[in-house]
Amino acid sequence: MQETLHYIFNQGRIMLHKGEKYDILRGKDVPTFVTDALPHLFVETADTIAYASSTALEELPEGYEWVGLRESYHLLPKPLYLQAGKASEILYFDTHHRHCGLCGAPMRWNTPISKCCTACGEEIWPQLSTAIIVLVHRGEEALLVKAKNFRRNYYGLVAGFVETGESLEECVQREVYEETGITITNIRYHGSQPWPYPMGLMVGFHADYVEGDVSLLDGELSAAAFFGRDNLPPIPEKLSMARRLIDSWIDEV
């Protein structure tokens, strides 16, 4: 029998049931205290049916909590956190594509993951913003940077959005040079991860330093330097691709 999951959102927060552990809402229907949700089926497998919906409800009864999507990483099993990310992206896509970009007529859902224009038939799918992130090696050191817009006081890695007409490798080279003034070589793929904040795909790389002095060229960074493994500043939490790259470098020795 298929199990039904409900991913219900309010302003970037997801409703979790709090029993002994935190969990997604399970059961055929949305809870009766949520009266304004319009569930959209977005995943159906042999085992699972998953719905995404949003509500304006702020106050929740005992046993339920609003939790930030990022924070849910620490509370949910990873498959549920990932599916919550997909649900969030589906809702973002829905609210940002109510009308057709070609003719302006209303859009309707066509499949669980695409919409179709009610007048001209144009079909659209959610578009991801692809971003690269790279750990640059110089001998036993790694290049860590502090972005001006980081909310917390830690160092991360050079990152940036892929531009149209650009390969991932060209983007890695460009971002490193634009942000720090150094040149790199030997760019190698590490892994990727969905980044539903709001519609991203992070692609992680390692690369090797060639030449140049670190300088903050384009004003996006407040600090950048090479660090050794025994001399690390505060680094990002486990959730992020930045941390996965840094951990893989730490584990090399």
Our CB check for Zn ion shows the closer of 49 and 105 to be 105
**Given 23, 65, 71, 122, the residue binding Zn ion (CB under 5 A):** 122
Q: Which stretch binds Zn ion (CB under 5 A): 83-91, 105-113, 190-198, 223-231?
A: 105-113
Binding part of the chain for Zn ion, among 101-109, 154-162, 205-213, 223-231 by CB under 5 A, reads: 101-109
In 3-state terms the chain splits into helix, strand, coil percentages (rounded to 5) of 20, 40, 40
> With respect to Zn ion, which residue has the nearer C-beta, 48 or 111?
111
- As a whole number of angstroms, the distance between CA 242 and CA 157 comes to 6
Contact 126, 89 (CB under 8 A): yes
- 107 in contact with Zn ion (CB under 5 A): no
Is 102 a binding residue for Zn ion by CB under 5 A? The answer is yes
Distance (Å, whole) CA 128 – CA 108: 20
Q: How far is the CB of 123 from Zn ion (least distance, A)?
A: 10
Interatomic CA distance for residues 169 and 207, integer angstroms: 10
Single residue of 16, 30, 76, 100 touching Zn ion by CB under 5 A: 100
Q: 236 near 154, Cβ under 8 Å?
A: yes
Provide, rounded to whole angstroms, the least separation between the CB of residue 102 and Zn ion. Answer: 5
From 38, 103, 128, 250, residue interacting with Zn ion (rule: CB under 5 A): 103
String of DSSP letters for 206-220: EEEEEE------SSS
Q: Does 117 bind Zn ion (CB under 5 A)?
A: yes
Kindly provide the residue ranges of all beta strands, DSSP E only, lying in 162-199, ordered along the sequence: 183-195
Please give the Cα distance from 21 to 182 (Å, whole number).
47
Choice between 101 and 233, CB closer to Zn ion: 101
- Chain residues binding Zn ion by CB under 5 A are 100, 102-103, 105, 117, 119-120, 122
